[in-house]
Amino acid sequence: MTAGMDETPPPSVGLLGSLRRMIETALSTIQNRVELFAVEMQEEKCWLISTLIWAAAAIFFCGLAILFVVAMVLYVCSSFGDPCAVDRRRSPTRSAN
């Protein structure tokens, strides 16, 4: 036998041997499930962080879009005429002429 191989004791016979193997199998199954649960929790944590980052980016860019729309509306509305021109049309000196 090579030195690197795991050596298991020969299977014992009888009721105690069967009980020991059954307990070892149950414990290894529980250990396997705990490791799987840990891996799943790590994946969920990565997914949650990624989702939160994407949500924050979406909120930021939606806010930026709203800001640009407001700026565009203000620019378009101000380009229709000088606000002072509206006041000049209503001024009493202009209406007297």
In a domain, 4, yes or no: no
CA separation (Å) from 55 to 11, 38, 46, 64, 93?
Answer: 57, 26, 14, 14, 58
Q: Does 1 reside within a domain? A: no
- Residue 97 included in any domain: no
Residue 49 lies in a domain: yes
Q: How far, in Å, CA of 31 to CA of 76, rounded? A: 67
- Classify residue 93: in a domain, yes or no: no
Please give the model's pTM, rounded to 2 decimal places.
0.54
Give the confidence band of 48 by pLDDT, cuts at 50, 70, 90.
very high
Residue 82: pLDDT over 80: no
Tokens 């949650």 -> residue: 48
Domain containing 78: what range?
Answer: 15-88
Write out pLDDT tens, residues 3-26. 555 666 666 678 888 999 999 999
What is the C-alpha to C-alpha distance for residues 96 and 83, in angstroms, rounded to an integer?
A: 21
Average confidence score pLDDT of the chain: 83
Using CA atoms, how far apart are residues 97 and 84, in angstroms rounded to an integer? Answer: 19
**Which has the higher per-residue pLDDT, 29 or 83?**
29
Number of domains in the chain: 1
